[in-house]
Amino acid sequence: MLLRGEGVVVLAASLAAYAQFGAGWGVFALWLLAPDLAMLGYLAGPRIGAAFYNATHSYLGAIVLLAVGALAAIPWAVTGGLIWCAHIGLDRALGYGLKYGAGFGSTHLGRIGRADPW
């Protein structure tokens, strides 16, 4: 619950900051789900899928983009970083964590998806 709560806080903070510094809610809506394109990596198998997913669902890239945008006064980078952080925060709040190579349902926040029938 603590990690999911952190996701809610990151989502709320990202939305509040985006309201102040963002490029409009149309841009936000357009790009909010872009990190989920990394799930296409699962077409190459669970280990590669997990690596692609984790690369786009870790705060590392999002915070670096946001920091570069803020420090270098690059508005599109600030916008992108905030949207990316919002996406990750939303995923974490919903229980979608970083993936293990065992499959999409195996995450650092616990198992997601259907329970095994056995």
Question: Which residue reads 């669970």 in tokens?
Answer: 46
Q: Dihedral sign for Cα 84, 86, 92, 95, please.
A: negative
In a 10 Å sphere around its CB, with 0-12 CB exposed, 13-18 middle and 19+ buried, how is residue 84 labelled?
buried
Q: pLDDT of the chain along its 118 residues, tens only?
A: 888 999 999 999 999 999 999 899 999 999 999 999 999 999 999 999 999 999 999 999 999 999 999 999 999 999 999 999 999 999 999 988 888 888 787 777 777 766 655 5
DSSP designation for 109: T
In the three-class reduction of DSSP (H, G, I as helix; E, B as strand; rest coil), residue 103 is classed as strand
Residue 103 confidence (pLDDT): 78
Alpha carbons within 13 A on the beta-carbon side of 102: 9
